[in-house]
Chain A
């Protein structure tokens, strides 16, 4: 009966599915596609109405924002790389051993794990004010260190949940063998669990980097000149570069491309990581 349905009806059905897929894909990605196109257009093409879909691409806009000398875009990008990278590595260093202890030794699993996973659902603005005041007293405003610390906080729930889930799936016989040889917990963690966890470590590194890169609120509040990340810096273009749409589009593109590319590698984990906060605990 099911086989019999493979006629003209199913072919129309298939065509409809493809149509829905293409329309949805274009609609959802429209701002990305349009911004990408604008960034390769000349001033004349941008001001043409209706906007041309086919045009001779130019790199002028990128040259202007990167080498023009009157924008700080390169330093914003550098800041984002340092902040997102540092925040991701610090979060891994703090949560990986903790996840191991929680899974294998049942320490803190009943209270600390749910407490941390729920953090993800609390509106960040609540902590923005006291952290701003604390940073002011500690001299951490507008510094890489301050931004790395806060990105680390933001990444901790996701990193911890993904690590706990992964280590739970490692068969316990693997570290039992090390134990019989008299290895301590630390040695077991370093020589057995760590090498086995390489795929999840890479996924958490990528995801945390992407979240750190995309973060906006704390960048807005805690930085002014020296440590401004690209998400905040790129918004300056809209006000100061009001008329230069091409340059603004090029700045946007540079701000969104790194997470887009990294995200494609880690996308099987994206769904899992975003469920953090309501599923576990």
Chain B
């Protein structure tokens, strides 16, 4: 009897595998094959005219990639951009949660208004900022001019801070939403017990609420860092990576190598290195997340 049941289970499991076949085939074709092709290309000298291969080139592409100072400045930009944005978004998100939680707990629909920027395509967000920040016709500089504070957001000296500011304004809502969910899931009894012990207001937040939110804070920071690190859309439409390469992120750098400068082998070598680096970072991050949760 028991053996028969195990048999049925095994058969069901075998049947269930068919449900995965389509998904696996699709991913192998759309991601597995391109990744392998990428790997092969990175060791060969291929061109648009000879896509099927070219000849084996050893590590030449990698040598060329590493020797290009542009790579290191793009990597530096992406790391700084990711860290600065993630840190400020976390800080703003937390501050907003502490201030607005009592307000939103009774009126959840208000949260939706703060969520709107997340639904906008980052590319179009960049274009919209390009319109309203324009030096001559933009609405924001015009009003600031009246206030006696003329500032050219898209000028050479400010554009670096502008692209950071736009990223923060678009994605602080994400940090806020996740942190708010974590805040709302802290049981009322805990707050009441803390209040009896004399912890109210800022003391309650610092001593009871904040420690309970640390796992969420780490996860949100990690996700925001990853997403900002690979930034492409709004910077591409705002500055195209310039002036010079002051706003060239790694994604824009690879794009430019391939589509503008046509150094195909070097572009592919950089993307392989980025793949390896991001997988390493992911596994390290996952370990951290699992450990934090286990604690």
Contact = CB atoms under 8 A, between A and B. Distances in A.
A202 interface: no
Interface stretch (B57-65, B205-213, B249-257): B249-257
B99 A29 contact: no
Interface string B89-133: 000000010011011000000111111111111111101111110
A131 to B, nearest CB: 5
Interface string B228-253: 01101100110000000000001100
Given A17-B100, A29-B113, A98-B20, A150 B195 contact: no
B278 A216 contact: no
Nearest to A281: B286
Given A125-B232, A271-B181, A256 B120 contact: yes
Interface stretch (A56-64, A66-74, A257-265): A257-265
Top 3 A-B pairs ranked by shortest CB distance? A263-B119, A130-B34, A214-B121
B100 A275 contact: no
Contacts of B178: 271, 274-275
Contacts of A234: 123-124, 127
Given A38-B131, A127-B34, A249-B131, A156 B23 contact: yes
Interface of B: 12-13, 15-17, 19-20, 22-24, 26-27, 30-31, 33-35, 37-38, 41, 51, 96, 99-100, 102-103, 110-125, 127-132, 137, 139-140, 142-143, 145-146, 169, 172-174, 177-178, 181, 195, 200, 219, 222-223, 226, 229-230, 232-233, 236-237, 250-251, 254-255, 258-259, 264, 267-268, 271-272, 274-275, 278-279, 282, 285-286, 289
Contact of B131 (A14, A131, A133, A252): A252
Contacts of A18: 103
Interface of A: 1-2, 5, 14, 16-18, 20-21, 24-25, 27-32, 34-35, 38, 46-47, 49-51, 93-95, 97-98, 100-102, 104-108, 112, 114, 116, 118-119, 121-131, 133-134, 136-137, 149-150, 152-153, 156, 184-186, 189, 210, 213-217, 220-221, 231-232, 234-235, 237-238, 245, 248-249, 252, 255-256, 259-260, 262-264, 267, 270-271, 274-275, 277-279, 281
Q: Is the interface of B mostly helix, strand, loop or mixed?
A: helix
